[in-house]
Chain A
């Protein structure tokens, strides 16, 4: 077995197309079409990989034909494959959306290679089975995100990117230090091998310290409670398609890494590590809710909703039972889709009105009814109104919380949905109802741009609806993922013994 390079295709194809796009920098047609073709091909391979993993179980390949703990192993299990597929799906529509939104100067200056490399990094981080390789893929996606956040060189972008780069350089240094600590204790970098070594020494105190250090490192990337301070200003600076990519993908890589390390490595002192994770998750939700309600800026409201979702997912991870982990997986994929949809929608609102200040908007529903109603559906999906996508995940997370005996905090998770709903419905009330504002009556977006922005957006909204309504079809995939997360021995055996 294990002669299986197929699982590498969703990583290699965007990488390869990114290289090709460095040539022909100024030819817009070439840049656009090749970017779409590349992501499309990668998406097709990811979907077929998803079904292969479903039928044949975990797929893995070790680079260079080396025996397992010595080479870099890439592991495609249900968790990573689901996330890879979602990533490519979102990237496809964001690139399409960018045709009408990113300006031509940016497109001619390596915007598309940047997107391709960021997708390479994200997919690689999801798929790798080696902790140092995870660091390298983090750097791949961070480098590309530095390019994308600063590309264009506006004043606000420069301000936001300095903060962003500084924070990420610090957290990357901390990542290397933490990996060094871990390596000096267990003497291996392969994730499955690390997990089995930690199990063999029953997680002594130093491993718990390393667990907290990892929580700090990935918490800085994922924006958990005391470490989320950089996110609102940095993300606010980026142009909308870039913001969509960041909001939908980057913090999720941090969440995935916490999920992976806390369900695979550090599972022997749950009373400390997972309790800490749960408390931080709850504070994250509180902090996010405060931010989401405090602002009148549409971008900031959705950005703080990212922080809330991070808290909800990590709360599910902290319960460490199969129900809550299944909920966390459901909610993670839902959140990637719905955040992409919401950012694309508010991007359209901002382009139409020419402002991101809610108090200067109003009456859009008269001219743009379809936009208005699809925004309302997306908002309901985010809050988790039953047939829509956010429902099943949050339900399972709360159920898992009750099963684990965390009564009040689970009730709190459910209650926080109301605040989420309030924060996004405020946008609907201010922007779509009320009097039409004079600021945006003169300028109407021309039909062609509107269509290029609207079609990919409606696709993403539609996919999120299907994801909610068709939860029945997705459940078997999520069951596999939850089983894998709640029982680390499945992963360890698959990688080390090749079962």
Chain B
């Protein structure tokens, strides 16, 4: 018998965006409130896993054509780059910088290089989680 998953597929489409935006919120808020790259990355991958559950691996791969192993390497490079950048201007490894900027729409905001490092963590977490799930899911 052919099953009909119209409801779960329809709900997944909406819920995916809710989870995804929440994960971005958690990621951005990490400096002042609980959150950060690690939970943010896990939440993002859980949103993708929801899509995998509602559809299947191949559909999700055509929608999000990402090589997750390269994503891991990119995240690592971003994190190492952020940490190593101060070396070139004569500061110790891992020195961070921050300043206040006035951005359009948001107004006065503090921007911190720790966020770039966190973005690296975020990419690595998404990459690792999705690689694990994809590889085990494909295995027959």
Within 8 A of B (CB), among A3-26: 3, 5, 8, 12, 15-16, 19-20, 22-23, 25
Residue of B nearest to A8 (CB): B93
A368 sits at the interface (CB 8 A): no
Q: What secondary structure prevails in chain A residues at the interface with B?
A: helix
Question: How many residues does chain A have at the interface if contact means C-beta atoms less than 8 Å apart?
Answer: 17
Contact of A61 with B70 in the complex, beta carbons under 8 Å? no
A172 sits at the interface (CB 8 A): no
Contact of A23 with B95 in the complex, beta carbons under 8 Å? no
Q: Closest Cβ of chain B: how far from A31's Cβ, in Å?
A: 13
Q: Closest Cβ of chain B: how far from A153's Cβ, in Å?
A: 13
Contacts of A61 in B (CB 8 A): 92-93
CA distance A3 to B84 in the complex (A): 13
Contact of B95 among A12, A25, A65 (CB under 8 A): A65
Within 8 A of B (CB), among A44-62: 61-62
A63 sits at the interface (CB 8 A): yes
Contact of B92 with A62 in the complex, beta carbons under 8 Å? yes
CA distance A63 to B69 in the complex (A): 29
Q: What secondary structure prevails in chain B residues at the interface with A?
A: helix
Q: Closest Cβ of chain A: how far from B84's Cβ, in Å?
A: 6
Residue of B nearest to A72 (CB): B94
Q: Closest Cβ of chain B: how far from A262's Cβ, in Å?
A: 29
Contact of B73 among A2, A23, A62, A63 (CB under 8 A): A23
B112 sits at the interface (CB 8 A): no
Contact of A19 among B73, B94, B95 (CB under 8 A): B73
Contact of B73 with A22 in the complex, beta carbons under 8 Å? yes
Contact of B69 with A15 in the complex, beta carbons under 8 Å? no
Within 8 A of B (CB), among A96-125: none
Take A5-B87, A12-B80, A15-B80 as given contacts and tell me if A64 and B95 are in contact as well, using a CB distance cutoff of 8 Å.
yes
Q: Closest Cβ of chain B: how far from A224's Cβ, in Å?
A: 34
CA distance A23 to B73 in the complex (A): 7
Interface flags, B80-110, vs A, CB<8A=1, else 0: 1000100100111111100000000000000
Contact of B94 with A64 in the complex, beta carbons under 8 Å? yes
Contact of B80 with A19 in the complex, beta carbons under 8 Å? yes
Contact of B72 among A5, A8, A16, A22 (CB under 8 A): A22
CA distance A121 to B93 in the complex (A): 17
Contacts of A12 in B (CB 8 A): 80, 84, 93
CA distance A25 to B68 in the complex (A): 13
Contact of A63 among B72, B76, B80, B94 (CB under 8 A): B94
Residue of B nearest to A113 (CB): B73
Contacts of B94 in A (CB 8 A): 63-64
Within 8 A of B (CB), among A195-245: none
CA distance A64 to B93 in the complex (A): 6
Take A12-B84, A19-B73, A23-B73 as given contacts and tell me if A3 and B93 are in contact as well, using a CB distance cutoff of 8 Å.
no
B77 sits at the interface (CB 8 A): yes
Q: Closest Cβ of chain A: how far from B70's Cβ, in Å?
A: 6
CA distance A137 to B76 in the complex (A): 16
CA distance A63 to B76 in the complex (A): 18
CA distance A15 to B93 in the complex (A): 14
Contacts of B84 in A (CB 8 A): 12
Contacts of A62 in B (CB 8 A): 92
Residue of A nearest to B71 (CB): A22
Contact of B91 with A63 in the complex, beta carbons under 8 Å? no
Contacts of B95 in A (CB 8 A): 63-65
Contacts of A25 in B (CB 8 A): 69
Contacts of A22 in B (CB 8 A): 69-70, 72-73, 76
CA distance A36 to B70 in the complex (A): 21
Contact of A19 with B91 in the complex, beta carbons under 8 Å? no
Contacts of B70 in A (CB 8 A): 22-23
Contact of A16 with B93 in the complex, beta carbons under 8 Å? no
Contacts of A65 in B (CB 8 A): 91-92, 95
A12-B80, A64-B96, A65-B91 given; 18 more Cβ-contact pairs under 8 Å? A2-B92, A3-B90, A3-B92, A5-B93, A16-B77, A19-B76, A19-B77, A19-B80, A22-B73, A23-B73, A25-B69, A61-B93, A63-B92, A63-B94, A64-B92, A64-B93, A64-B94, A65-B92
Name 28 A/B residue pairs within 8 A (Cβ), A-sorted.
A2-B92, A3-B92, A5-B87, A5-B92, A5-B93, A8-B87, A8-B93, A12-B84, A12-B93, A15-B80, A16-B77, A16-B80, A19-B76, A19-B77, A19-B80, A20-B73, A22-B72, A22-B76, A61-B92, A61-B93, A62-B92, A63-B93, A63-B95, A64-B92, A64-B93, A64-B95, A64-B96, A65-B92
Nearest first, the 4 A-B pairs at minimum CB distance are A22-B73, A63-B94, A5-B87, A64-B94
